[in-house]
Amino acid sequence: MNRNEGSLALPSLTSIKAAAVLAGFIALCLGLPMMIGLVSAKLSASNSLQGVVLAGILFPALLLALVRPRQLVPYTLLIWAVAPELRRISDWSEGVYHSVSLLSLAPLLTGATLVIPVLKEIHRIQKSSTRIILLFAVALGYGALIGLAKNGMGSVYDLANYIVPLLLLPYFAVTRFKAKDIDRLLYAYANIAVLVAIYGIVQYLTVPPWDAFWMRNADMISIGTPYPLEVRVFSTLNSPGPAATFLVFALVPMILEKRWQGTLRWIGVLLVVICLLTTLVRSAWLVLLVMLLVYIASSSSKGKWKSLLQLVFVAAALFWIVPKLPGAEGLVARVETLTSVSEDHSYNERLSLWQNMLPMVASNPVGQGIGSVGQGTKIGNAGELGEYGNMDNGVIALLLTFGVLGGLFFFSALAAVAKQIVSRVISKDNLQPYSRLALAAWTGAVVSLVSDNGFPGLKGYLIWMLVGLGLSAKEITQSRRKGNPHGAVERKITSQ
């Protein structure tokens, strides 16, 4: 007789874990509608509608975080892209402009769901990633303490804009991404960027009424006037700068590798480039050029020639297409200003800002804390930007925020990231394209500090996404060599 016969079978750890996930899912499905109802009953009609839309956006993210974590990033990219447009349509439908809206929280709350797979698999994280995260954590902790004391609740919103993008580093370190999964993510990003570009071109030619309504009420004189061919395109984003950033970080992989181009292939590339031109954001063009050159320079000899030929193709197509576009005179004039930088108004303003602000930063080594610079200054200021709401120099913005001590930890973290990426680039294997793309993104982020601090918010999300992909490939390789469970799952990674 088997000694186990008649005995009670103990549930396995896997079955307990599955039951816990199922119980959490059921609780979420039952509890979320009740919470929405309770909160909506206490809100005004306008805020109630925004709350329902926000909950509808957040619910799929929670589901993906629980059952399909690898598909969570494409969904969050989509929300970062369309949430500002949803807000504009909501305001236009009500006939009331809201300087601060609940829908502004949609990208942050959606991105915050990354913490679910991170906490679930935190034991898989490597020491190299832990060191980087700790350096950023010290900088952010210091900046948050100073910010809470000086800036109040504005620091909480601004801190979330730093933390949510940085969640991508541990997320990619613990989530099982194969090469084909990374390719699918970049493919999805390309498709989203093409949709953003198509809407941007439509916006340039027609200016939909909800966009015109927002332009008239937002009082942003730098984005043109709400008439066809007279607007600096912002597409579904909230201004030309973020729109250009979203397109640039998609365009680099689209140009460089065929498998990252999206459904429309080279037609999609040309649509994104044309929309990027209509934003008239010259700093984005600089970042685009830097990222392309870094990727090409770090490629093999054969890869260099292939990438250069693709760049020549895109340049030739633009040389033929752009002069034939409606309103091409303004686009050409904007490009020509790059040949006379010393006479450019924006350049001179940034130079003056550097000269005026550097002594101020030196006289305040403690820093102003998180929430003192950028969009966070709207909180507690009647929806208006504060004294440092517009800061056209990223280095000054970081030093003003974190001071000397916090800035030291922040820049040390950036250096640690670069060290990890470079060590991966100089190794020879079939995952190298992702590391080169990570290096290009890191370099583009640092170069763009001449114009703004791109690490919080949308730009930070895009930067750490591309960097995280490259570091994720490194983690997989190391894990596979050590023979741990993470590597065992990813034992076969095929090149695309």
For the chain, how many helices (H) and strands (E)? 20, 0
pLDDT at site 285 = 87
pLDDT at site 26 = 59
SS3 281: coil
Burial of 298 (0-12, 13-18, 19+ CB in 10 A): buried
| Alpha carbon distance 10, 30 (integer Å) | 30
| Alpha carbon distance 179, 299 (integer Å) | 18
pLDDT in tens, 353-387: 665 666 776 777 887 888 777 666 666 655 556 56
CB 246 within 8 A of CB 282: no
| Alpha carbon distance 126, 243 (integer Å) | 34
The pLDDT of 218-226, averaged and rounded, is: 81
Rg, C-alpha atoms of the chain = 24
Reported as a pLDDT band with limits 50, 70 and 90, residue 335 is low
Residues whose CB is less than 8 angstroms from the CB of residue 329 and which lie 6 or more positions away in sequence, other chains included: none
| Alpha carbon distance 255, 266 (integer Å) | 8
pLDDT at site 375 = 67
What mean pLDDT, rounded, does the chain reach? 79
Residue in 474, 496, 458 with CA at minimum distance from that of residue 256: 496
Q: How many CB atoms lie within 10 A of CB 105?
A: 18
| Alpha carbon distance 188, 75 (integer Å) | 9
pLDDT at site 446 = 92
Q: How far is CA 28 from CA 105, 109, 450, in A?
A: 20, 16, 44
pLDDT at site 119 = 87
pLDDT at site 403 = 86
| Structure tokens, 433 | 């394209």
SS3 191: helix
Residue in 375, 161, 302, 329 with CA at minimum distance from that of residue 229: 329
Residue in 366, 373, 368 with CA at minimum distance from that of residue 392: 373
Of all helices (H) and strands (E), which one includes residue 405?
helix 394-425
Q: How many CB atoms lie within 10 A of CB 7?
A: 8
pLDDT at 482 over 60: no
pLDDT at 74 over 60: yes
pLDDT at 14 over 70: no
Determine what percent of the chain is predicted with pLDDT higher than 70. Answer: 72
CB 491 within 8 A of CB 412: no
| Residue with more model confidence, 74 or 486 | 74
pLDDT in tens, 84-139: 999 899 888 888 887 777 888 899 999 999 999 888 888 778 777 888 999 999 99
| Residue with more model confidence, 129 or 343 | 129
Residues whose CB is less than 8 angstroms from the CB of residue 59 and which lie 6 or more positions away in sequence, other chains included: 32
pLDDT at 349 over 80: no
Q: How far is CA 145 from CA 229, 340, 371, 402, in A?
A: 46, 44, 11, 10
| Residue with more model confidence, 224 or 477 | 224
Q: What one-character DSSP code corresponds to residue 494?
A: -
Highest mean pLDDT among 6-10, 384-388, 393-397: 393-397
CB 265 within 8 A of CB 186: no
pLDDT at site 486 = 43
Of all helices (H) and strands (E), which one includes residue 313?
helix 301-321
Measured on CA atoms in the order 486, 119, 62, 413, is the torsion positive or negative? negative
pLDDT at site 362 = 72
